[in-house]
Amino acid sequence: MRIVFFGTPLFAVPSLEALLAAGARVVAVVTQPDQPQGRSRSTLIAPPVKQVAERHRIPVLQPDRPAGDVFLAALRRVRPDLGVVVAYGHILKPGVLALPGRGMINVHASLLPRLRGAAPINWAILRGDPETGVSIMQMEPGLDSGPVLRQCATPIGPDETAGALTERLASLGAETLVATLDLMRKDRLAPRPQDHAAATFAPKIDRTVTRVSWGDDAVAVSRRVRAFEPSPAAWTTLEGVNIKLFRAKPIEGDGLPGEVLAVSPRLRVATGRGAVEISEVQPAGKSRMEAEAWGRGRGVRTGQVLE
């Protein structure tokens, strides 16, 4: 079976590597263009999946958008039987979805129909879900709405950050993908339609979502910090300066919402109910640092209020 693989970030790498390790015939990789980095923006950095593909001498396609006659012609030339999509970052048009003879499947980081959309890992933590997982689904023009081929669930740890959960789900997704393809080859898959009435959504993350609301209770504030750690990071302000927050946990404490209760040995801040202890911060224009070091540098003092 000739496979064309669509993916871009590190999350997609374990799936591509697992396919290759299992002996799958990956005939092309489609990923986003190299991105400029550095102060002068003159250095181009290849996406992680491109780096894997080049090590294995797999042809790479990098369209600005996966559409149009030129891209479709390039895709036809590799004669794919199946498309596999893992965190590619673009919505695929019906013409692309229909091109492989056996269609396209997607590795999605939630237990569909829960948390359809761009940021299921962040939203699972933010909502306080006790578990999440991965779903292998047949792709169709709707948003993550196609029939599910296979799912695997996993609990979310009480202190787990989005970064840690992403790593676990990347590995779990790779294992589940390989198992799904094995069943597909044996014609032992029974696609299960999703219950669209039970669908929930995980839209793209913006700054309004990542900003801490100190009127929330301590558990909710802690979840918001974990949901966006390490990136893009939950944030607050102190006297007009943006501060990113990391490694938060709920503790006992009373005060006005946002009031700094202590700086050493860790930053402690009151919430609408209880308080949170924050171990690391990143003031605007500076590197991530221990919260105590920030306090020693007169970044914050007891009694000030974060907003």
Query: What's the confidence (pLDDT) of residue 40?
Result: 65
- pLDDT > 70? residue 271: yes
> Are 142 and 214 part of one and the same domain?
no
Supply the pLDDT for residue 44.
Answer: 86
- pLDDT, tens digit, 9 for 90 and up, residues 155-185: 999 999 999 999 999 999 999 999 999 999 9
Percent over 70 (pLDDT), the chain:
98
**pLDDT tens, 209-226?**
999 999 999 999 999 999
CATH at 165 = 3.40.50.170
Residues 180, 78 share a domain: yes
Domain count, the chain: 2
Whether residues 161 and 183 fall in one domain: yes
Q: Is 54 among the domain residues?
A: yes
Q: What is the pLDDT of residue 285?
A: 87
Residues 98 and 213 occupy one common structural domain: no
Domain range for 288 is 207-296
Q: Is the pLDDT of residue 264 over 80?
A: yes
Question: What stretches of 104-251 adopt beta strand conformation (E)?
Answer: 104-108, 131-138, 148-155, 234-238, 241-251
Q: Could you read off the pLDDT of 2-56 as tens digits, one per residue?
A: 999 999 999 999 999 999 999 999 999 999 998 888 666 778 889 999 999 999 9
Q: Is there a single domain that holds both residue 176 and residue 213? A: no
Q: Out of 198, 225, 252, pick the residue that ends a domain.
A: 198
Q: Per the domain annotation, does 306 fall within a domain?
A: no
The model's pLDDT over 237-257, given as tens digits with 9 standing for 90+, comes to 998 899 999 999 999 999 999
Residues 6+ apart with CB under 8 A from 75: 4, 28, 30, 61, 96, 99
Whether residue 104 is contained in a domain is answered as yes
304 in any annotated domain = no
Average pLDDT over residues 123-127: 98
Does residue 307 sit within a domain?
no
Residue 165 sits in the same domain as residue 239: no
* CA–CA dist 67, 23 (Å, integer): 29
Q: Is residue 305 part of a domain?
A: no
The larger pLDDT score, comparing residue 297 to residue 251, is at 251
Residues 133 and 246 in one domain: no
156 and 245: one domain? no
Phi-psi region of 263 (alpha: psi -120 to 50; beta: other; left: phi over 0): alpha
Same-domain check for residues 161 and 192: yes
Q: Which of 151, 175, 198 is the last residue of a domain?
A: 198
Are both 108 and 31 inside the same structural domain?
yes
Q: Residue 224's pLDDT is what?
A: 98
Residue 88 makes CB contacts below 8 A (sequence gap 6+) with 6, 7, 8, 12, 30, 31, 32, 66
Look at residues 165, 198, 231 and tell me which one is the last residue of a structural domain: 198
pLDDT in tens, 62-100: 999 999 999 999 999 999 999 999 999 899 999 999 999
Q: Over 90: is that where the pLDDT of 116 sits?
A: yes
pTM of the model: 0.93
78 plus 190 within the same structural domain: yes
